[in-house]
Amino acid sequence: MEHRPLGRTGVSVSSMCLGAMMFGEWGNPDHGESVRIIHRALDAGINFIDTADVYSQGESEEILAKALAGRRDDIVLATKAHLPMSEDPNHRGNSRRWIVRAVEDSLRRLDTDWIDLFQIHRWDPAVEHDETLGALTDLVQAGKIRYIGHSTFPASAIVEAQWTSQTRQRQRYVTEQPPYNILDRAVENEILPLAQRYGMAVIPYSPLATGWLSGRHRAGQQTGPTSLARQRMIADRYDMTRPENQRRLAAVEQLDDLAEEAGLTLIQLALAFVRNHPAVTAPIIGPRTMEHLDSQLAAAGVVLTDDVLDRIDTIVPPGTSINPGENWVSPWLEPAARRR
């Protein structure tokens, strides 16, 4: 499998990143099968794995510890913190207090002495960048993490964080992990160009649009999410009575026809589209079964021709989303914030 630079860090990672959200209660509760899936990915040339403390409330990290025993030195291991880990209001967020605790907890669950890439899972406008970056800088200097990144940061927060790192002499975020797929191309407007400007690696999640680009959804079929994570988080995205899902379905039908004409599966078309963007380092694939993994690994060497890319642009124009309502909105524009 092709390897690519992780931004300007000097680290090389596989051009696909194995996402571990589906390992554990949220997806596949069979630890043995999950370990076999991870080993199959490593044997296929993947050396980059992404997880988070919140995935199955730490179970995903524990499964990775089992799978990476004896192979840890060869893996670029990434995890994240921010989302709630309990009802305690201090067991979440971007404060120094929680980040230090979250790193220690992840190190214990992962059974490792260091985390290669520690990411802030979401931006919080109520916390100063310097509060978060100060804690992360200390953890890098302590040797507990190597690099830092973030996920789903808006463009303004990315710029401010880079400025804070420069002016306060803090560690710099070197990666961004945004949602990006053919049905949701909004990050092409600002996030991807901004990442290129700052030399940041981009590790997109949801390249299959939470299953919409897997080939499972067809007109007249009322298929919904099968994993617990999808059922809890985004079940309404599969309600075929909703207008936005009807728009998704129409686009998926056109994309499926295009894939067939190009001699590809829909999964190969979708992953190749994200993987071959010049700003993208490695899309995150999130298999729940061995079959899922094999179907996604099949996209590793696929390169889309210009005419196929042009056809995709006619179905979903650059920089747009099938459902604009899913685009990021500043927390300060939410009704509760406007009332303050």
Of residues 196, 122, 198, 126, the one with CA closest to residue 165: 198
214 within 8 A of 225, measured Cβ to Cβ: no
List the Cα angle 192/225/60 in 5-degree steps.
70
Question: Rounded CA gap, 282 and 298, in Å?
Answer: 15
Q: Do the Cβ atoms of 103 and 72 come closer than 8 Å?
A: no
Please state, in angstroms and rounded to a whole number, the distance separating the CA atoms of residues 38 and 44: 10
What is the rounded CA–CA span in Å between residue 26 and residue 19? 13
The C-alpha torsion from 240 through 26 and 35 to 101, rounded to 10°, is: 140
Burial 275-284 (b: 16+ CB within 10 A, else e): bebebbbbbb
CA atoms within 13 A on the CB side of 185: 17
Q: Cα–Cα distance between 276 and 282 in angstroms, integer?
A: 9
* Beta-bridge partners for 18: 49, 285
Tokens 């914030």 found at: 337
Which residue from 278, 273, 298 is spatially nearest to 287, judged by alpha carbons? Answer: 298
* Catalytic residue selected from 55, 147, 180, 205: 55
Q: Establish whether 180 is a catalytic residue.
A: no
Q: Characterize the bridge pairing of strands 76-81 and 115-120.
A: parallel
Which residues carry out catalysis? Answer: 55
